[in-house]
Amino acid sequence: MRLRIATRRSRLALWQAEHVMARIQALESGVTVELLPLSTRGDELQEVTLARAGGKGLFIQELEKALADGRAELAVHSMKDMPAELPHGFALAAITEREDPRDAFVSGKWPRLAELPAGSVVGTSSLRRQAQILERFPALEVRPLRGNLDTRLAKLDRGDYAAIVLASAGLKRLGLASRIRSVLSIEESLPAAGQAALGIECLAVRGDVLAIVAPLADPVASACVRAERAVNQALGGDCTIPLGAYAEQSGERLRLRALVASGDGRRIARAEASGAFPEPELLGQRVAEELRRRGAAEILATLAR
């Protein structure tokens, strides 16, 4: 049997696809796995923020087209890039073991975010990160930072920014952990839903593909990410909103923290709860409802104007 994996062309996306390819080959000796690198609209629009361009779904659509027209059987995504709801006919076959979900502070000069002088320019691609940075350090200036990981680091190195904030997972996966000056705690920067987890997507009718991929699923990561994504889905399912959600196992239960923020960090609604491990979506819905009670609906209404 031959499996083709659709992937973006960036170095990190290729690492992710190759990682999944190696795991499948280790489990299934009779399966031949190939990569199908594709350019996505999200990669092409480098001068526009994701929120204005149409959201993180721009990284997914070309890969899903390849699944739909038979050019590929699988697609590998960063779970934080996946919309809360998949199109009809597509299935999330597995969520793999999670890397470090925290955000990383990267700078050539400064060791920590708290040590940046007032007026320093910080780069990030994320409204979620921007809001949390400005809540704690309103004297900093946060500017958009687009491009793949290597491009973002190059912009920092040439002096466009005093510091940038990236996902720790991507740096670690590409052997760039030495670039991390400090790691932001979960309390300092709540991650995006699904951050540091990989998702494997296929057509829902491909039972043979689902069966091959099923052993790659990590039960803890799957439950945590499902809870986080349920918050996003309950609040409208928009990848562009400044929303953080992070779940972790606590004994036989899940603890879920989430927030919704205005882009300037002046208004942030936070909520947390714990729930039964087998019912992550219910936990996510409960936390979303608590966020609404604490002002999330008003914040989201303001963002939509």
Q: Could you tell me if 2 and 35 are in contact, meaning their C-beta atoms sit under 8 angstroms apart? A: no
Partner residues linked to 94 by β-bridges: 200
- What would you report as the CA-atom Rg of the chain, rounded to the nearest whole angstrom? 19
Q: Which of 43, 69, 81, 238 is catalytic?
A: 81
Q: Could you tell me if 302 and 288 are in contact, meaning their C-beta atoms sit under 8 angstroms apart? A: no
Q: At what angle do helices 219-234 and 280-293 cross, to 10 degrees?
A: 40
Say whether 295 sits in a helix, a strand or coil. coil
* CA atoms of 201 and 199, how far apart (whole Å): 6
Whether 218 is catalytic: no
Residues 298, 300, 303, 305, Cα dihedral to 10°: -70
Q: What is the DSSP letter of 278?
A: T
Determine whether 3 is exposed, middle or buried from the number of CB atoms within 10 Å of its CB (0-12, 13-18, 19+).
buried
Neighbouring C-beta atoms of residue 102, cutoff 10 Å: 20
- Residues with a catalytic annotation lie at 81
